[in-house]
Amino acid sequence: MDSGGRGSRRGRGRRANRGGEDGDISLSKSMSYALRHGADQMGLQMGTAGDVERVVATNDKQRFKLRSHPEDGRLQIRANQGHSVQVMDLELKAVLAGSPDCPAEAVHGSYLRNWSSIQLQGLSRMRRTHIHLASGLPGEDGVISGMRRDCDLAVFIDVPRALADGIEFFRSENGVLLTPGDSEGKLLPKYFSRALRLRPTRSILPLQ
C-alpha cells in the first residue's frame, strides 16, 4: 500500500483519540487491519506519511515494513504477517529440517476457553494464510512477536516432526514462525509437544 507524500503533518499522531488511546497505537491497529485484510476493499488511502513512518520505526513487535517503489520512489508499506489475503512480495524464509535455525519447538498462544477444541481438533489457520508461532513465550529473550501478551494458553509444536510429515514452516522478518498447516490448514494434536496454562500460575496441561 502506498503511504503517500512525505511532507504531511509529521509528529501529530501522538495525540490521544476520543477513547484516550495514544494516536500511534490507534494508527498501528488501523494499519494492521488494513494491511492484513485488504485495504483495497476498504477504499483506504494513507496520506500521513510522517505518522506512518514513525509507527513503523517504533512498533515494538515490528509488524510492518516500508520500502520505496522501484519505479517512482513512492513509499509502500506492508504487514510482516497476519494476512487473510495473499501478499505476493511477503519476504519469508523457509525453515528447513536440520538447519541451524530450525527450532525444536515453537509456541502458539491462545486462550484456555479454546483448549478443549484445540486438544481434539488441533490448531487452525482459520481465515488467515498462516498459523502464527512464536520462538518462545512473551518476555523471553528475542521474543518480540508471534503471540498476544494476554494469552493464557501456550501450545508447543514439535517443529521437526511436522516438517518430517511435509508441513512447511517459514520465518518472517520479525522472527515469527508461520505455517499454512496441512492440506486442511491445520496442525493436528499429534504435533503438540506440550501445553501450558499461563495464568494465574503456570501449570502443565494434559495433551489427551
More confident residue, 206 or 1: 206
Whole-number percent of the chain with pLDDT over 90: 42
> Taking the domains of the chain in order of start, what are their residue ranges?
12-79, 93-204
Confidence of residue 83 (pLDDT cuts 50, 70, 90): very low
User: pLDDT tens for residues 120-134?
Assistant: 999 999 988 899 999
| pLDDT for res 148 | 82
| pLDDT for res 16 | 56
Q: Give yes or no for a contact between 4 and 47, defined as CB atoms under 8 angstroms apart.
A: yes
Q: To the nearest whole number, what is the mean pLDDT of the chain?
A: 76
C-alpha cell at 147: 503471540
Confidence of residue 170 (pLDDT cuts 50, 70, 90): very high
What is the CATH number assigned to the segment(s) 12-79?
A: 1.10.10
When pLDDT is averaged across residues 53-82 and rounded to a whole number, the result is 59
Whole-number percent of the chain with pLDDT over 70: 56
When pLDDT is averaged across residues 180-184 and rounded to a whole number, the result is 96
More confident residue, 26 or 99: 99
Of the CATH numbers 1.20.1240.10, 3.20.170.30, 3.40.50.2300, 3.30.830.10, which one belongs to the domain with range 93-204?
Answer: 3.20.170.30
Q: Give yes or no for a contact between 4 and 75, defined as CB atoms under 8 angstroms apart.
A: yes
Distance (Å, rounded) from C-alpha 98 to C-alpha 208? 29
